[in-house]
């Protein structure tokens, strides 16, 4: 499939650019680079047009980094047929980041191992599910958990101090998984057992 020719102003010059879809490990969400055609994402003129927020998003959706790219980047994306703004925005600090739905057929023109992995992960999710990725504070191992969007929303409130019980938010998770998510714990089941094992046994 022939890639769509995109022109974008970088450093005051109009350049032929390409997209490079990736993912954020924090929540396995979509990220997108723009880079000068013929170079690569490591080139000094490349930059990320998305940002990673702790907020739900649907397949092929990403939050656009209007803080660093400017609000016109959304208009440019739409005018070039790369997708459309969903109308949803997420506030982080003083900035409101718009959600953008990228056209999958366009991203497939620029596909790579990272976008292929992103799509594979998306296939694991149900329509009302999302990933919660948490790392053990002791061993640093990452644990990707699939939870309902409703539970994830409650969990974000819980993190802000809402008086929920972790077992009420995630009744379907194991005690070990809930311990990883619990306030003041953040430890995987293996590390928890090792910490509280009798020594010597």
**Where does the pLDDT of residue 165 fall: very low under 50, low under 70, confident under 90, or very high at 90 and above?**
very high
Q: Report pLDDT for 9.
A: 79
Q: Report pLDDT for 1.
A: 47
Burial (0-12, 13-18, 19+ Cβ within 10 Å), 170: buried
**Tens digits of per-residue pLDDT, 76-102?**
999 999 999 999 999 999 999 999 999
Task: Give the residue-averaged pLDDT of 93-122.
Answer: 96
Beta carbons of 115 and 9 less than 8 angstroms apart: no
pTM of the predicted model as reported, rounded to 2 decimal places: 0.85
For the chain, give every domain's residue range: 6-122, 129-195
Beta carbons of 19 and 4 less than 8 angstroms apart: no
Rg, Å, the chain Cα set: 20
**Tens digits of per-residue pLDDT, 49-66?**
999 999 989 999 999 999
Beta carbons of 45 and 15 less than 8 angstroms apart: yes
**Where does the pLDDT of residue 45 fall: very low under 50, low under 70, confident under 90, or very high at 90 and above?**
confident
pLDDT at position 33 over 60: yes
Comparing 10-24, 56-70, 104-118, the range with the smallest average pLDDT is 10-24
CA-wise closest residue to 7 among 86, 47, 15: 15
Q: Report pLDDT for 44.
A: 75
Under 8 Å CB-to-CB from 84, ≥6 apart: which residues? 78, 100, 101
The number of helix segments (H) and strand segments (E) in the chain equals 8, 10
Helices (H), 99-185: 104-109, 113-124, 149-159, 166-169, 175-181
């Amino acid at each position: 499939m022939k890639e769509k020719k995109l022109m974008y102003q970088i450093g005051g010059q109009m350049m032929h650019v390409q997209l490079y879809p990736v993912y954020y490990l924090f929540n396995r969400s979509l990220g997108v680079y723009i880079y000068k055609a013929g170079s690569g994402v490591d080139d000094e003129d490349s930059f990320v047009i998305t940002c990673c927020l702790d907020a739900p998003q649907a397949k092929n959706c990403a939050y656009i980094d209007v803080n660093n790219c400017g609000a016109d980047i959304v208009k440019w994306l739409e005018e070039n047929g790369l997708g459309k703004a969903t109308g949803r925005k997420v506030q982080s600090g003083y900035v409101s980041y718009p959600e953008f739905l990228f056209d999958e057929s366009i991203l497939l023109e620029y596909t790579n191992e990272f976008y292929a992995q992103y799509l594979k992960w998306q296939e694991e999710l149900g329509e009302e599910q999302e990933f919660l990725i948490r790392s053990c504070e002791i061993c640093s191992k990452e644990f990707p958990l699939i939870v309902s969007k409703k539970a994830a929303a409650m969990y974000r409130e819980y993190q802000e101090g809402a008086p929920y019980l972790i077992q009420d938010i995630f009744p379907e998770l194991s005690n070990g998984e809930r311990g990883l998510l619990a306030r003041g714990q953040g430890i995987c089941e293996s590390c928890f057992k090792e910490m509280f094992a009798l020594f010597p046994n």
